[in-house]
Amino acid sequence: MDYTIIHELPGRIRIELTSPGMPVPDSYNIEGQFSDIEGIKGVSFNCLTKRLLIHYNGSQARGTILKAIENIPLNPTRRNNPKSSNLQQKKKAVMIGGMLLAAGSFMPIALRPLITIYGAVPILKKGIISFFNRRLNVDALDSTAIGVAIGRGDYLTASIITFLLKFGDYLEEWTRQRSRESIAKLVYIPSEWAWVKRNGKETMVNIKDIEVGDLVVVRMGSSIPVDGITVEGEAMVNQSSMTGEPMPVPKRAGVMVYAGTALEEGLLIIRTTHVGYETRVSKIIKVIEESEGKKADIQSHAERLADSIVPYTFLLSGLTYLFTYNHLKASSVLLVDYSCAIKLSTPLAIMSAMIASSRRGVLIKGGRFIEKLAQTDVFVLDKTGTLTEARPEVVDIIPFNRFSRDCILKNAACVEEHFPHPVATAVVKRAEEEGLTHREEHADVEYVLAHGISSKINGKRILVGSRHFIHEDNRIDVGYADSLIKDFTDKGYSILYVAIENILGGIVVIEDPLRKDSLKFINMLRDSGIRRIIMLTGDNDATARSVAERLGIEEYHGQVFPEKKTEIIKRLKNEGHVVAMVGDGINDSPAISYADVGISMKHGADIAKEVCDILLLDGRLEGIIEARKIAQDAMPRIKHNFSYIVGVNTVLIGFGILGIISPAISALTHNGTTVLVSLNSLRPYRPISNNI
């Protein structure tokens, strides 16, 4: 490695690295060369400027540093990729086939059959195995066509067909490789090493050795190797590998960052929360790679159709020979099959749609759910946690019977703080916001399940809970406050009653606020063509009505238990609707599981995330709209590919029967068609509207 000293001070040296004709290794590989050198205090390498800054102690360390720079390897070792090797093997087969085809014209006539058969052996072998297993598939078609040409002594045609089939096979593998590379880009981390801060000192470790809780130091130009929370530093991070957005986003303390994203500017110290296969991007990749077991109906149908066509191709070829006695025409029919392109293009389109959705924070767990999402005409939405924040807030405190507002709030918070349920948390939070502090002056606190709390403060009995608990269980009169309470309950608010010494002291008015994106999401659903939107909730009818009115939802059901939610889903499906259910709780899980498309939020219960078909990784409701647009784009693309495949190949068969084109031209055009439709399947999906 060549270098130039840019600037130098005692104990500090800045060096620019150059490697003529070769890329400079990444920062972890560069910095790792100095990890064991005695006297090194710190090393920082900028991939963009190719400059290295080193702090050191002692004059001897300087010489060791410069020697280490000279010995930096230009070609860091890379792990072998078997899938890439498979592509190289196919490429090698094409090159050998091309050389045999070119050499055949110059070889003695006696050697031409041997050269032709040698080149065709791999294809003939596949065909023989297919016949032996009584399968009339594409391999049987190809080997038959080559065998007919060899049997007729037309070695040039047989060699051309062999070469074109190998070339087509290589191109198909190349398109598959592109799909794999799209997945690989999601998790690409250019180095196996990372800097971890332990005991106040930075140490370079293998990424595999990073543990949850470790502080990982990431500098400019490096990829983030873990999921974690930023604890120190500010930086601009490029998340295009996951979101598709080209512009970097700012990251600072308290903000989540993800493995596979790139730090373009700044420095971050990240507390690791997930490593290896537990990172978000690894889970996305795992689902995509395992999705083959959940094929879309259109994909399964295409594969069944492709397999069923092969026997008819043999039949048509036989009939062509029977009526024309022309081997060339019969061979042309054999060389044109529909199955190759159909079987390749459809799964590639599904895979491409899944990758595009994952980049928008939507994890789709199988191809069939893409198809169902595109067909969905009814959306059923849980209220709590989906349309609302599921974090209750205190909106008002109303005192009665000469008690002060502060007294009611302070005493309610005093007993509620012992029970970490959402309503209690809301009361305590409001007291803290208003600066109402209290001393522990109450007696033991008794919690009555699903009813309320009982205790004593300064010798006075205090009750906090539901109307049932205050009025019916403890016989405290609340009737004089009914008109005021009814005004709140009619608007969808919940009421927490506070009684002191058998007198109603006041009420605390609670609401579960709407998510900021709920109304926008409902409007976007309608704009996308969904005409029926149903809201379900276990809350009372007044609360359900209030939320539905604010969101413009006409159909809703209150006081719905889990089994009732499932019954509603079943009824809609029996009516012929394709139903999507969106929820996040344990009580939503049966309905999510039974719906055609079950959708859960990232903050949902574990069982809801497990049974769902689509998981919103970012928790954004708009992600559902984005994924649906992608799905609606994928289905016409698949059908268009199918029409193109059938149309072009049918014309080729017709030309072959009429003798307009030779078998070699049939093979060339057929393989070209396969490659074109495959590339169309991998074509990026149209960008989502800026209004989303």
- The C-alpha atoms of residue 595 and residue 579 are separated, in whole angstroms, by 6
3-state SS, 543-600, equals: HHHHHHHHHCCCEEECCCCHHHHHHHHHHHHHCCCCEEEEECCHHHHHHHHHCCEEEE
Q: What is the CA radius of gyration of the chain?
A: 34
User: CA dihedral defined by 597, 598, 601, 604, rounded to 10 degrees?
Assistant: 180
Cβ-based burial of 18 (10 A; exposed 0-12, middle 13-18, buried ≥19):
exposed
Number of neighbouring beta carbons within 10 Å of residue 472: 11
Q: Cα–Cα distance between 409 and 173 in angstroms, integer?
A: 69
In this structure, which amino acid lies at residue 562?
A: P
* Alpha carbons 670 and 316: distance in angstroms, whole number: 17
Q: How far apart are CA 252 and CA 269, in angstroms?
A: 9
Q: Contact at 8 Å (CB) between 186 and 171?
A: no
d(CA 426, CA 494): 12
CA-closest candidate to residue 642, choices 677, 685, 669: 677
Sheet holding 362-364, edge to edge: 362-364, 614-616, 597-601, 579-583, 378-382, 532-536, 555-557
| List of residues 6+ apart from 395 with CB closer than 8 A | 493, 509, 510, 511
- C-alpha 480/C-alpha 497 separation (Å) is 13
Which helix H or strand E contains 681, and what residues bound it? Answer: helix 663-682
Residue in 529, 542, 524, 500 with CA at minimum distance from that of residue 689: 524
> Please, what is the end-to-end C-alpha distance for the chain in angstroms?
49
Q: Which two tokens stand for residue 245?
A: 């957005």
Distances (CA, A) of 478 to 452, 483, 497: 16, 10, 9
Helices (H), 53-187: 59-70, 82-104, 112-132, 138-151, 155-186
Q: Which residues pair with 616 in a beta bridge?
A: 362, 601
Distance CA 229, CA 271 (A): 5
Distance CA 521, CA 536 (A): 16
Among 382, 512, 588, 613, the active-site one is 382
Looking at the DSSP bridge assignments, the partners of residue 461 are 456
Give the E-state strand segments of 239-318 in sequence order: 249-251, 256-257, 262-274
Cβ atoms within 10 Å, residue 269: 17
Strands (E), 391-502: 393-399, 446-448, 452-457, 460-465, 494-500
**Hey, what are 48's tokens?**
């963009």
154 catalytically annotated: no
Q: Tell me the catalytic residues.
A: 382
